[in-house]
């Protein structure tokens, strides 16, 4: 049944594939890139500099350039950049297709360290050249490995303006699909020598299904400092943490508030916006955007920064929201001047006056002009501030609007808010929960004299903002969920207490509104019997944080063990009844039934090796570049295939899971200048690397091995001219399929619903058994 369903879907998608072959804008021939209402509206508003409107409209009709970003926190980022420049970009510069010279990718001038690039190459051109097809496969493979992200250029701006540091506690309020979240995680891990930064990212989205997309994005980065939760951002609960034995409210140092919007800045890639755009989209969304922004600043620590962003150019969704927020804050918030933060980025300052237009084309310049029949759709906060002195104090010119024709990007709006004092409604209306253990002093952050937490105080939106359910489909859905979800930290107050160390799913009546029921997050105790064999087998260092290890089941055998940072453990243990956690932690060990006879039932997992390895003091084999090539291109090579030093080390180690560690030699710049750590298995006479397919490809490329699989099924070949390169790469191709199955099984366990009783272990165990025999 499932197979037939997939076949139907494949047939339905065939037309879409054909459209792709005709270039990025193809397939939308029936959508004419004209919208008179859109043109009239933006022409009248005057957001585009005089004399540039035609350029602006022409740019909106052009396909959007593809942009890629090299993940900055990976220790291999420089190696990937070197690989891109030397192997791909150089060749592309010399390339001609159909008599036309291909324009090589260019770095984004404003993105630090040449870590982001853009190109105008279309899918049609990519398919015409084997060399470009290689480049495309490289991008796909490295994207799946988490080393490259394909992300729209303007989407990269908000995380840069947050100025993340490794100790920051960060909330991403509307995080899916997760490209910005990935940037936040990378910034936390700026120092790869620190496996557990003090900070963390809590990534939230209201859509349960999109949360799993978010998990997939975050999982590629293998961080123990990310948690994905599922809430309506406009009433996301206030969380508590344990601080020096007292319960404190969690306030965030940085908040990314990338709100749902009408998306008229995305017309270059979302062609159907041309047909669907009306001004009523912005009117419907303004209230929701304002409520989300208000909830964000309530949870922001004093001294913290919140970035508000939309992919809309409309002042109703942009400056109007910021102005309403600033007015209600009564000086507690101020717009930061970011003009010098991204040198090279072209942007227009925010506007201080704008008008409002209905979809019928009727204009209003002031709330007093709006007839009462329109009061449910049009609200006072949508209009500019009348008081010129107060308007000047807002400094709306510090907002940044990116126009598509200035640097060949999408349209975007971003504003950076700094919190100077607690929000006034938090100070005026303290209201503690009856059974709360919080005292007024405990409700303050260590860095500020904060009032009682937002979740414990009345939620007062800015004056005049709509409290009615908007009839826009998206906002209606969100508001419905908001109505069903109790607000703030009071959720789950009368729920039964959980056993210590266990974070179960929230009570179903209160929180399980939609989506899958998640398995619990159970932290292991310091004396859990699981650690006995693990401790001795891997000779873990005394400072290994056992209390940070968790599993997803409290009954039966523990299938996988995960690790989170100490700070996220604190959040999980104190808020299991308040929030719906979709996923957290990085997998560090997987149960392997064959391993028990060798001394330990758990083998190392590649996902968590960089987190775990600093604590492992035995079962480490130091390998060379040639050793890694052998391990990644051959199936179960004999120990004798290793070079002498690695072979001697392997002989001294018993059968079972091992760490294969490469340490760069600064005196040999021709070799990779970044450390490489791989999980492996020491068999009786052979040795094997347990590395997923795309990571295998990634490491091979870094070592100078070409891993391009051509469409005629001729396997893969090596570019450095080594004698047995083709044969070894073909072995790797066979190995890839097996690794892909193992990875798919792991994904099913890890991503879908945390089911610890899946079937992935049988495949893993078979592989281990085969190796060890």
Binding-site members are 174-180, 205, 232, 258
3-class state of residue 111 by DSSP: coil
**Pick the residue with more confidence: 709 or 227?**
227
Q: Residue 729: which pLDDT band, with cuts at 50, 70 and 90?
A: very low
- Whether 503 is catalytic is no
Q: Tell me what pLDDT residue 41 has.
A: 95
Backbone dihedral region for residue 715 (phi beyond 0: left; psi -120 to 50: alpha; all else: beta): left
* Contact status, residue 367 vs residue 393, Cβ threshold 8 Å: no
**Pick the residue with more confidence: 229 or 721?**
229
* Contact status, residue 587 vs residue 550, Cβ threshold 8 Å: no
Q: Tokens for 161?
A: 């303006």
Which of the following is catalytic: 225, 235, 261, 311?
Answer: 311
Q: Tell me which residue has tokens 């859905």.
A: 477
Q: Residue 191: which pLDDT band, with cuts at 50, 70 and 90?
A: confident
* Contact status, residue 672 vs residue 705, Cβ threshold 8 Å: no
Q: Tell me what pLDDT residue 515 has.
A: 58
* Contact status, residue 84 vs residue 117, Cβ threshold 8 Å: yes
CA neighbor of 77 nearest in space, from 170, 199, 214, 192: 192
Q: Tell me what pLDDT residue 598 has.
A: 80
Q: Residue 723: which pLDDT band, with cuts at 50, 70 and 90?
A: very low
Q: Residue 592: which pLDDT band, with cuts at 50, 70 and 90?
A: confident
pLDDT digits (tens, 9 = 90+) for 294-332: 999 999 999 999 999 999 999 999 999 999 999 999 999
- Give residues with Cβ within 8 angstroms of 220, minimum separation 6: 144, 145, 146, 182
* Contact status, residue 583 vs residue 750, Cβ threshold 8 Å: yes
Instruction: Give the residue extent of every domain in the chain.
Output: 32-153, 231-351+391-490, 619-772
Rounded distance between C-alpha atoms, residue 499 and residue 161, angstroms:
42
User: How many helices and strands, by DSSP H and E, does the chain display?
Assistant: 25, 32
3-class state of residue 688 by DSSP: strand
298 exposed, middle or buried (CB, 10 Å; 0-12, 13-18, 19+)? buried
Helix locations, 499-600, DSSP H: 530-538, 566-574
Out of 13-27, 277-291, 335-349, 536-550, which region has the weakest mean confidence (pLDDT)? 13-27
Which residues, listed in sequence order, are joined to residue 310 by a DSSP beta bridge?
413
CA neighbor of 552 nearest in space, from 583, 508, 511: 583
Rounded distance between C-alpha atoms, residue 279 and residue 375, angstroms:
16
Element (H, E) at 412: strand 412-419
* Contact status, residue 283 vs residue 474, Cβ threshold 8 Å: no
The count of residues in the chain is 773
32-153: CATH, from 3.90.550.10, 3.30.70.1170, 3.40.50.300, 2.130.10.10: 3.30.70.1170
Rounded distance between C-alpha atoms, residue 158 and residue 181, angstroms:
10
Q: Say whether pLDDT at 196 is over 90.
A: no
pLDDT digits (tens, 9 = 90+) for 448-502: 333 333 333 334 344 333 333 333 333 333 333 333 333 333 333 333 444 555 5
pLDDT digits (tens, 9 = 90+) for 371-393: 999 999 999 999 999 999 999 99
Q: How does the average pLDDT of the chain come out, rounded?
A: 78
CA neighbor of 68 nearest in space, from 45, 91, 84, 49: 84
Rounded distance between C-alpha atoms, residue 447 and residue 444, angstroms:
8
Distances (CA, A) of 4 to 7, 55, 577: 5, 49, 41
Q: At what angle do helices 130-145 and 693-702 cross, to 10 degrees?
A: 120
Rounded distance between C-alpha atoms, residue 235 and residue 488, angstroms:
6
Backbone dihedral region for residue 143 (phi beyond 0: left; psi -120 to 50: alpha; all else: beta): alpha
| Mean per-residue pLDDT, 112-129 | 80
Q: Tokens for 650?
A: 């392997």
Which residues, listed in sequence order, are joined to residue 302 by a DSSP beta bridge?
none
Could you write out the three-class secondary structure of 86-125? HHHHHHHHCCEECCEECCCCEECCCCHHHCEEEECCCHHH
Q: Tokens for 544?
A: 């290994």
Domain 231-351+391-490: assigned CATH number: 3.40.50
CA dihedral 591, 596, 599, 600 (to 10 degrees): 10
Q: What is the DSSP letter of 385?
A: P
Element (H, E) at 627: helix 625-633
**Beta strands, E only, 197-328:** 200-204, 226-229, 240-243, 246-249, 252-258, 300-310
Rounded distance between C-alpha atoms, residue 65 and residue 269, angstroms:
9
Binding-site members for S-adenosyl-L-methionine are 174-180, 205, 232, 258
Identical fold, 32-153 and 231-351+391-490? no
- The angle subtended at Cα 768 by Cα 762 and Cα 772, nearest 5°, is 145
Rounded distance between C-alpha atoms, residue 233 and residue 481, angstroms:
10
Q: Tokens for 351?
A: 């506007």
| Mean per-residue pLDDT, 363-377 | 93
Rounded distance between C-alpha atoms, residue 309 and residue 326, angstroms:
15
Q: Residue 230: which pLDDT band, with cuts at 50, 70 and 90?
A: very high
Q: Residue 693: which pLDDT band, with cuts at 50, 70 and 90?
A: confident
- The rounded Cα 216 to chain-centroid distance in angstroms is 8
pLDDT digits (tens, 9 = 90+) for 94-107: 777 777 777 788 89
Which residues, listed in sequence order, are joined to residue 591 by a DSSP beta bridge?
602
Q: Tokens for 417?
A: 């808010």
The values of phi and psi at residue 100, to 5°, are -110, 130
């Amino acid at each position: 049944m499932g197979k037939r369903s997939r076949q139907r879907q494949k047939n339905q998608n065939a037309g879409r594939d054909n459209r792709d072959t005709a270039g990025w804008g193809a397939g939308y021939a029936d959508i004419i890139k004209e919208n008179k209402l859109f043109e009239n509206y933006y022409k009248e508003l005057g957001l585009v500099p005089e004399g540039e409107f035609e350029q602006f409209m022409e740019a909106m009709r052009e396909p959007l350039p593809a942009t890629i970003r090299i993940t900055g926190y990976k220790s291999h980022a420089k190696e990937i950049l070197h690989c891109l420049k030397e192997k791909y970009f150089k060749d592309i510069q010399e390339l001609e297709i159909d008599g036309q010279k291909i324009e090589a990718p260019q770095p984004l001038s404003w993105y630090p360290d040449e870590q982001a690039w853009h190109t105008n190459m279309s899918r049609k051109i990519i398919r015409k050249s084997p060399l470009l097809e290689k480049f495309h496969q490289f991008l796909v493979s490295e994207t799946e490995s988490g080393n490259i992200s394909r992300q729209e250029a303007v989407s990269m701006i908000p995380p840069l303006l947050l100025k993340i540091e490794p100790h920051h506690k960060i909330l991403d309020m509307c995080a899916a699909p997760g490209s910005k979240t990935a940037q936040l995680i990378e910034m936390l891990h700026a120092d790869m020598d620190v496996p557990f930064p003090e900070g963390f990212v809590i990534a939230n989205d209201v859509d349960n299904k999109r949360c799993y997309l978010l998990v997939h994005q975050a999982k590629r980065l293998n961080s123990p400092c990310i948690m994905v939760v599922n809430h309506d951002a406009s009433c996301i609960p206030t969380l508590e943490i344990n601080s020096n034995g007292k319960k404190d409210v969690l306030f965030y140092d940085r908040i990314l508030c990338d709100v749902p919007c009408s998306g008229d800045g995305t017309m270059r890639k979302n062609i159907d916006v041309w047909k669907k755009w009306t001004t009523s989209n912005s009117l419907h969304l303004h209230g929701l955007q304002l409520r989300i922004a208000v909830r964000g600043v309530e949870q922001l620590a004093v001294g913290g920064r919140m970035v508000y962003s939309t992919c809309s150019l409309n002042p109703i969704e942009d400056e109007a929201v910021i102005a309403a927020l600033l007015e209600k804050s009564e000086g507690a918030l101020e717009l930061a001047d970011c003009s010098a933060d991204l040198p090279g980025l072209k942007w227009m300052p925010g506007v201080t006056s704008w008008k409002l237009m209905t979809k019928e084309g009727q204009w209003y310049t002031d709330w007093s002009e709006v007839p009462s029949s329109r009061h449910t759709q049009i609200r006072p906060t949508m209009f500019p501030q009348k008081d010129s002195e107060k308007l000047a104090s807002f400094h709306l010119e510090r907002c940044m609007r990116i126009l598509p024709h200035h640097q060949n990007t999408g349209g975007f709006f971003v504003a950076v808010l700094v919190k100077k004092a607690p929000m006034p409604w938090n100070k005026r209306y303290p209201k503690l929960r009856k059974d709360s253990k919080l005292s007024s002093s405990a409700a303050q952050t260590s860095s500020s004299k904060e009032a009682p937490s937002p979740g414990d105080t009345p939620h007062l939106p800015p004056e005049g903002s709509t409290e009615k359910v908007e009839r826009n489909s998206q906002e209606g859905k969100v508001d419905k969920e908001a109505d069903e979800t109790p607000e703030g930290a009071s959720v789950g107050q009368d729920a039964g207490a959980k056993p210590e160390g266990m974070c179960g799913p929230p009570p179903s009546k209160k929180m399980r509104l939609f989506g899958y029921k998640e398995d619990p997050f159970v932290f292991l105790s310091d004396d859990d019997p699981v650690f006995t064999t693990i401790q001795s087998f891997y000779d873990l260092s005394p400072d290994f944080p056992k209390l940070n290890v968790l599993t997803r089941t409290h009954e039966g055998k523990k299938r996988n063990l995960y690790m989170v940072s100490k700070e996220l453990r604190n959040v999980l243990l104190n808020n299991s009844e308040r929030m719906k956690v979709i996923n957290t932690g990085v997998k560090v060990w997987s149960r392997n039934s064959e391993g028990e006879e060798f001394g330990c039932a758990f083998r190392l997992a590649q996902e968590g090796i960089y987190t775990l390895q600093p604590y492992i003091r035995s079962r480490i084999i130091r390998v060379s570049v040639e050793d890694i090539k052998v391990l990644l291109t051959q199936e179960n090579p004999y120990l004798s295939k290793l070079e002498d030093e690695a072979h001697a080390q392997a002989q001294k180690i018993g059968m079972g899971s091992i760490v294969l560690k490469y340490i760069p030699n600064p005196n040999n710049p021709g070799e990779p200048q970044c450390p490489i750590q791989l999980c492996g298995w020491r068999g009786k006479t052979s040795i094997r690397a347990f590395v997923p397919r795309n990571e295998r490809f990634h490491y091979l490329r870094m070592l100078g091995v070409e891993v391009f699989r051509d469409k005629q099924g001729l396997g893969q070949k090596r570019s450095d001219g080594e004698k047995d390169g083709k044969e070894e790469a073909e072995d790797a191709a066979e190995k890839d399929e097996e690794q892909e199955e193992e990875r798919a099984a792991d994904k099913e366990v890890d991503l879908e619903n945390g089911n610890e009783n899946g079937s992935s272990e049988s495949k893993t165990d078979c592989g281990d058994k085969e190796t060890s025999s």
